[in-house]
């Protein structure tokens, strides 16, 4: 399959470009090739987006929303097909892939509803015969830079609010998962989204990403990825006075108190830690457990981990698929070796699976460390794989201190049956998302998604808060007094 750029409503060949192969991480099968675009293709896409934006912004928001309803319907009709494509190129198990596609469907319908809201405010003026209000206004051309681990969900978090708000966009997907971007481009085309509203350009971050950030006609950059790369995006974009929205890394913890339902906690930890092979920004990589139940929890986790099946995500019986590529495999294994050297106790896993039937894919055993100290590297840095560290504490106060003692602030969780404990925790945990008696993952699209500290820069994906990224506030004053009235002066 040869994947092409989608620019101005056309699938552009750009035969002069180099291309790279896309492979299935489960078995090494080549799935497609994608072009390595240059700044020339970025310029072409920006021109198309800028031309389209002028007329798109004049389409009434409820009419813009109708395209999102149509996109959601198309995604619903193609759900099983899209999930299969997603699993093939990314590796997550088919059940999770279906859930991710559903998240995109939900986002389409939710943001379509905003077409009849996009609320501003009216407020009394301090002067007689004068009216005051604020409205949301589109910004123009926006750039979306998305990762490989949620190639549909994150793309819809960003593109759908941009569309309904009256912007046009250029989307640079990850080179690991371009097929889902191609499928979304086809859906944009099928529903008749006007040419130039949605544009997709494939290529590397240093080339395509940098060109988008530096282009004077691109007004907003929305990025999801590593904290290291996000910091560079912010630095480069800041020089050009761009609005930058960053959603980056996490080092998320599940706190298990001595009164917790341990079976429920075990289930929540397993799903949060090993779903998507641990390749989630919200993945649980730390378990902060009260000393009185630490041994019980360890035994429960070890028993359940033995039941986890590993393999190709298209197999309905498989619970854990491959990691995305060889580099990810090596990075995960590197951190496991660090954990051993630091003195943590390896209870389970800790190795690359390279024997048949795993030898053609990228598989890592679900891994559990105990006796981990809060300042160890494996308890501080994002591993982005199926590796969990157990940290013992003696109190809620210590648990919160350990949770907050990392540079990230995306997601946290606490298992307890004490309402006072729960309310203190949700107040004092310094993450953007807090779960009570659930794992650290499972965000819903109608609430803001994002974090604090090294996880983000104050903006949010999803929910009404996402509109703040793609709109500017415009204050409007209508004076119908027929005379000059000066605010703060002529109020007597």
- C-alpha of 247 from chain center: 7
What pLDDT, on a 0 to 100 scale, did the predictor assign at position 332?
98
**247 carries an active-site annotation:** yes
Measured CA distances, 286 to 189, 255, 393, 492 (Å): 43, 9, 12, 61
The mean predicted confidence, pLDDT, of the chain is 97
**From 44, 103, 183, 247, active-site residue:** 247
Mean predicted confidence (pLDDT) in 305-311? 97
**Rounded Cα gap, residues 334 and 453, in angstroms:** 25
409 touches 385 (CB < 8 A) = no
- 251-434 has which fold? Aldehyde Dehydrogenase; Chain A, domain 2 (3.40.309)
Residue 435 has pLDDT above 90, yes or no: yes
Residue 333: how many other CB atoms lie within 10 Å: 17
Q: How many CA atoms lie within 13 A of 349 on its CB side?
A: 33
Residue 180 has pLDDT above 90, yes or no: yes
What pLDDT, on a 0 to 100 scale, did the predictor assign at position 14?
78
User: Which has the closest alpha carbon to 294: 268, 340, 255, 346?
Assistant: 255
What pLDDT, on a 0 to 100 scale, did the predictor assign at position 430?
97
CA dihedral 379, 385, 387, 393 (to 10 degrees): 40
What pLDDT, on a 0 to 100 scale, did the predictor assign at position 13?
75
- Residue listed under structure tokens 């350990």: 402
Mean predicted confidence (pLDDT) in 393-397? 98
CA angle 335/338/343 to nearest 5° reads 135
382 touches 251 (CB < 8 A) = yes
User: Which has the closest alpha carbon to 269: 390, 161, 371?
Assistant: 390
Residue 15 has pLDDT above 80, yes or no: no
Q: Which two tokens stand for residue 17?
A: 């470009």
Q: What's the N-to-C CA distance of the chain in angstroms?
A: 73
Alpha-helical runs (H) found in 193-351? 210-214, 227-239, 262-274, 294-305, 326-342
Measured CA distances, 41 to 1, 168, 197, 210, 211 (Å): 21, 16, 16, 13, 10
pTM of the model: 0.96
52 touches 188 (CB < 8 A) = no
H-run or E-run covering 89: helix 79-90
What pLDDT, on a 0 to 100 scale, did the predictor assign at position 288?
98
Measured CA distances, 269 to 265, 386, 415, 427, 435 (Å): 6, 11, 10, 22, 12
What pLDDT, on a 0 to 100 scale, did the predictor assign at position 492?
78
Mean predicted confidence (pLDDT) in 212-227? 97
Map residue 353 onto helix, strand or coil: strand
**Rounded Cα gap, residues 91 and 359, in angstroms:** 15
Q: Which two tokens stand for residue 217?
A: 């006609």
**Rounded Cα gap, residues 44 and 212, in angstroms:** 11
Would residue 451 be called left, alpha or beta, if left means φ above 0 and alpha means ψ between -120 and 50 degrees? beta
Burial of 15 (0-12, 13-18, 19+ CB in 10 A): exposed
What pLDDT, on a 0 to 100 scale, did the predictor assign at position 117?
96
Name which of 5-19, 80-94, 268-282, 335-349 the model is least confident about.
5-19
198's CB contacts (< 8 A; 6+ apart) are 6, 159, 163, 168, 169, 171, 185, 188
User: Which has the closest alpha carbon to 68: 107, 14, 125, 122?
Assistant: 107
What pLDDT, on a 0 to 100 scale, did the predictor assign at position 413?
98
- Residue listed under structure tokens 């359940």: 304
- Residue listed under structure tokens 């990075």: 331
Q: What is the pLDDT of residues 337-355, one digit of tens each?
A: 999 999 999 999 999 999 9
- Residue listed under structure tokens 């206004």: 137
- Residues above pLDDT 70, as percent of the chain: 100
Mean predicted confidence (pLDDT) in 118-142? 97
Residues of the chain with CATH 3.40.309.10: 251-434
Residue 491 has pLDDT above 90, yes or no: no
**Rounded Cα gap, residues 328 and 350, in angstroms:** 14
Mean predicted confidence (pLDDT) in 16-44? 95
Residues of the chain with CATH 3.40.605.10: 4-247+470-474
What pLDDT, on a 0 to 100 scale, did the predictor assign at position 227?
93
- Residue listed under structure tokens 């998240």: 103
147 touches 225 (CB < 8 A) = yes
What pLDDT, on a 0 to 100 scale, did the predictor assign at position 284?
98
pLDDT-derived band of residue 16, with 50, 70 and 90 as boundaries? confident
**Rounded Cα gap, residues 262 and 277, in angstroms:** 22
pLDDT-derived band of residue 185, with 50, 70 and 90 as boundaries? very high
Residue 105: how many other CB atoms lie within 10 Å: 23
What pLDDT, on a 0 to 100 scale, did the predictor assign at position 1?
84
Q: What is the pLDDT of residues 315-324, one digit of tens each?
A: 999 999 999 9
Q: Which CATH architecture has domain 4-247+470-474?
A: 3-Layer(aba) Sandwich (3.40)
């Amino acid at each position: 399959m040869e994947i092409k750029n989608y620019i101005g409503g056309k699938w552009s060949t750009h035969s002069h470009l180099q291309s790279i192969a896309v492979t299935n991480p489960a078995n090494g099968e080549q799935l497609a090739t994608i072009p390595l675009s240059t700044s020339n293709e970025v310029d072409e896409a920006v021109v198309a987006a800028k031309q389209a934006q002028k007329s798109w912004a004049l389409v009434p928001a409820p009419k813009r929303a109708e395209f999102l309803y149509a996109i959601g319907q198309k995604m619903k009709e193609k759900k099983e097909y899209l999930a299969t494509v997603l699993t093939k190129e990314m590796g997550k198990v088919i059940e999770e892939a279906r859930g991710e596609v559903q998240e995109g469907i939900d986002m389409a319908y939710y943001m379509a509803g905003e077409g009849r809201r996009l609320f501003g405010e009216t407020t009394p003026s301090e002067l007689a015969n004068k009216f005051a209000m604020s409205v949301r206004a589109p910004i123009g051309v926006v750039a979306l830079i998305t990762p490989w681990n949620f190639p549909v969900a994150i793309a819809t978090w960003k593109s759908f609010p941009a569309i309904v708000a009256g912007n046009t966009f250029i989307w640079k997907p990850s080179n690991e998962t371009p097929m889902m971007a191609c499928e979304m481009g086809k859906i944009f085309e099928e529903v008749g989204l006007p040419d130039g509203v949605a544009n997709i350009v494939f290529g590397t971050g240093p080339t395509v990403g940098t060109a988008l950030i530096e282009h004077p006609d691109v007004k907003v950059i929305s990025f999801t990825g590593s904290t290291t790369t996000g910091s560079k995006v912010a630095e480069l974009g800041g020089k050009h006075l761009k609005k930058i929205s960053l959603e980056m890394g996490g080092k998320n913890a599940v706190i298990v108190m001595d009164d917790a339902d341990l079976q429920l906690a075990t289930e929540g930890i397993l799903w949060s830690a090993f779903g998507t092979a641990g390749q989630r920004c919200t993945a649980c990589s730390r378990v902060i457990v009260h000393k009185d139940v630490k041994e019980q929890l360890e035994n429960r986790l070890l028993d359940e981990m033995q039941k986890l099946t590993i393999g190709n995500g298209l197999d309905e019986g498989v619970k854990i698929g491959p990691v995305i590529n060889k580099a990810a495999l090596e990075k995960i294994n590197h951190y496991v070796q660090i954990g051993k050297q630091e003195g943590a106790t390896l209870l389970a896993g800790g190795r690359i699976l390279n024997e048949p039937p795993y030898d053609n894919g990228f598989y890592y055993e679900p891994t559990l460390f105990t006796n981990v100290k809060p300042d160890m590297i494996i308890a501080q840095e994002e591993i982005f794989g199926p590796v969990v560290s157990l940290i013992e504490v003696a109190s809620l106060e210590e648990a919160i201190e350990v949770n907050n003692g990392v540079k990230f602030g995306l997601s946290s969780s606490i298992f307890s049956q004490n309402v006072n404990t729960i309310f203190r925790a949700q107040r004092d945990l310094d993450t953007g998302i807090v779960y009570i008696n659930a794992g650290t993952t499972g965000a819903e699209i109608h609430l803001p998604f994002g974090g604090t500290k090294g996880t983000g820069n104050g903006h949010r994906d999803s929910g009404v808060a996402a509109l703040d990224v793609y709109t500017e506030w415009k204050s409007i004053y209508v004076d119908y007094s027929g005379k000059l009235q000066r605010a703060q002066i002529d109020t007597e």
